[in-house]
Amino acid sequence: MAAVTDAALMVPGPRSTTQVALRWLLFAILGVFALVYLFPLFVMVVTSLKTLDEVRAGNLLSLPQNPTVEPWVSAWSTTCVGLTCEGLKGYFLNSILMTVPAVAISAVIGALNGYVLTKWRFRGDGVVFALILFGCFIPFQIVLLPMARTLGLLGLASSTPGLVFVHVVYGICFTTLFFRNYYAAFPNDLVKSAMIDGAGFFRIFWRILLPNSVPIIVVTVIWQFTNIWNDFLFGVSFAGGGGAMPVTVALNNIVNSSTGVKEYNVHMAAAIIAALPTLVVYVLAGRYFVRGLMAGAVKG
Amino acid sequence: MAVISEPAVAGRRSPFDWLQTILPKLVLAPSFAVTIVCVYGFILFTLYLSMTNSAMLPSFTWVGLVQYGKLWSDPKWTISLVNLGIYGVLYICISTAIGLLLAILLDQRIRIEGALRTIYLYPMAISFIVTGTAWKWILNPGLGLDKLMHSLGWTGFTFDWLIDGNMAIYTIVIAGVWQSSGFVMAMFLAGLRGVDSDILKAAAIDGATLPQTYRRIIIPLMRPVFLSAFVVSAHLAIKSFDLVKAMTDGGPGTSTWTPAFYMYATTFTRNQMGLGAASAVIMLATISAIIVPYLYSELRGGRRD
């Protein structure tokens, strides 16, 4: 790994005053940026712990005088989403029921696709891969209308299985990309010698590739989990008014409803609840999250 | 690159061998079929719809390019395109500038680099709806930044861009940059870490100062990263729908409509399906113009080694 700074800033031994000053300036700039990035999260947490009167009386940064969890309780179980006033909990569950199967199915399919595309190559496999890959980049507006019709025909309109189907269909390209790039670097000799020993297609996958795939599985699962949990367009288009609404759509309904008093504290609590699963995953496995982002942007 | 295809078999093929050769294709087939239908088939279907007079329900009356004529003479579409221009240019430029700056600063052997990186990047893990909700509250005219500045003693301060039709699009730029600049930083940081240290040593021996080394050597070496960052953020900008929906819902009036918002609003709220389909086709064409050459060069580049 190349550290750029051997030359000037980090000369070992005594430093000149200018260097010390520069170092302080460096930390000051980085610190200010860190505060700017943390500011919205801080505001959300602080606001969610105040009563509405206190929200109106104080300012964004003023700490709650009498911290209350009332907004959280309301966001979770009593605030109104459209006409039903049962809070976010049902929609949170919808999101879990949608995300978990969609992530699992798309990851399994992607792993098998990546395996075929790198270890069982055939004429035209490059074209097949390119065709699948392009699907990652289309604006989903282009498929909304036919997909809505298809879900209707399949009897899956406004249902969680319908959303799972959609997320699997448009997630395969990413999972295939991830596994294909990972398996491309996996030694072919191991696969060959297993073939000579008479191991079949699935046995080679199960015994040789899969045990060595933990890092890419983690990357794929995190990427898919984040994307599917955070999706709004498919949720609002295919389950907008119904009982299968995911949490992002419900959050938007709470915040942008035109009726009643704007309960900013409840909005903030609801927003944190909707963001919590992906934030937790990010904090626990940030390294893999970054790797997924990179793999999605820069192909090998 | 060694290519493994069908296992070598001597003599007659047993059904088992036949299965082994057909199996990989069978495994890939469903994904391929789904892609052909749900990506390419659906694109064609939308293209077809854009040439019919479909309104609330799809209709199959062919009208040619009438919807496209309507689209380009619709002032709301003009607003959407202008907004995409403003948003796209500012979002891409500011994110790239901040991302590059932070990456260079973080690359100076900072002891708490890991913690800072985590802080800069966490917005990327959050949904645009949450980001929009948070910024909508922060920029709330009266209760948000306004009030904060007043209580800090700056009583003349007003910030009402959210309800000002001329300025509202810039609030979306603010939230968008906050969300994605950390990602651009991560891309640049990875690029900086890949710079060959010999080049830097050579530069140091030649007496180049640190700013010179960055300006003349390192930043020019980052060209591929600039390209990737541009492609990713342009792609995100063209698709920007969630953030607009959460922050302004297209308002005030129609002042923050973007093409993605236009497509959704005309199709689902205003029941002009043909027109919505036409706008989706234009979106796809725009994204393809950026993505296809990029993918082509990436895939070809990958094949060379």
pLDDT in tens, B26-43: 999 999 999 999 999 999
Among residues 230-249 of chain B, which lie with CB inside 8 Å of chain A? 231-232, 235, 238-239, 241-242, 245-246, 249
Give the rounded percent of residues in chain A with a pLDDT score beyond 70.
92
Distance from CA of A17 to the nearest CA of B (A): 17
Nearest to A202 by CA among A132, A104, A111: A111
Cβ <8 Å between A9 and B108: yes
In the stretch 132-151 of chain B, residues with CB closer than 8 A to chain A read 133-138, 140, 143-145, 147-148, 150-151
> d(Cα A261, Cα B146) in Å, to the nearest integer?
20
Put simply, the answer to whether A7 touches B203 (Cβ < 8 Å) is yes
> Do A52 and A263 meet the contact criterion of CB atoms below 8 Å apart?
yes
Residue among B178, B203, B283 whose CB faces A142 most closely = B283
CATH superfamily of B74-304: MetI-like (1.10.3720.10)
Give pLDDT tens digits for B244-285.
999 999 989 899 999 999 999 999 888 899 999 999 999 999
Q: Which residues pair with B10 in a beta bridge?
A: none
Q: Determine the average pLDDT of the residues in B214-222.
A: 90
> What confidence score (pLDDT) does residue B84 get?
96
Residues of chain A neighbouring B34 (CB-CB closer than 8 A)? 169, 172
**Contact call for A4 and B4, based on CB within 8 A:** no
The confidence score (pLDDT) of residue B33 equals 96
What confidence tier does B144 reach under pLDDT thresholds 50, 70, 90?
confident
Q: How many CB atoms lie within 10 A of CB B297?
A: 12
Q: Are A144 and B267 in contact (CB < 8 Å)?
A: yes
Q: Where are the domains of chain B?
A: 74-304
- Give ipTM to 2 decimals: 0.89
Instruction: Please give the average per-residue pLDDT across B81-104, as a whole number.
Output: 96
Q: Which long-range contacts (CB under 8 A, 24 or more apart) does A118-122 make?
A: A118/A180, A118/A183, A118/A184, A118/A186, A119/A183, A119/A186, A119/A188, A119/A191, A119/A204, A119/A209, A119/B4, A120/A201, A120/B4, A120/B5, A120/B24, A121/B3, A121/B4, A121/B5, A122/B5, A122/B24, A122/B25
A89-297 folds as MetI-like fold (1.10.3720)
Nearest residue to A265 (alpha-carbon basis) of A85, A66, A43: A43
- Give the model confidence (pLDDT) of A11-63 as tens digits: 445 568 888 888 899 999 999 999 999 999 999 999 999 999 898 888 888 88
Residue-wise pLDDT for A235-275, tens only, equals 999 987 778 999 999 999 999 887 778 899 999 999 999 99
Tally A–B CB contacts below 8 A: 320
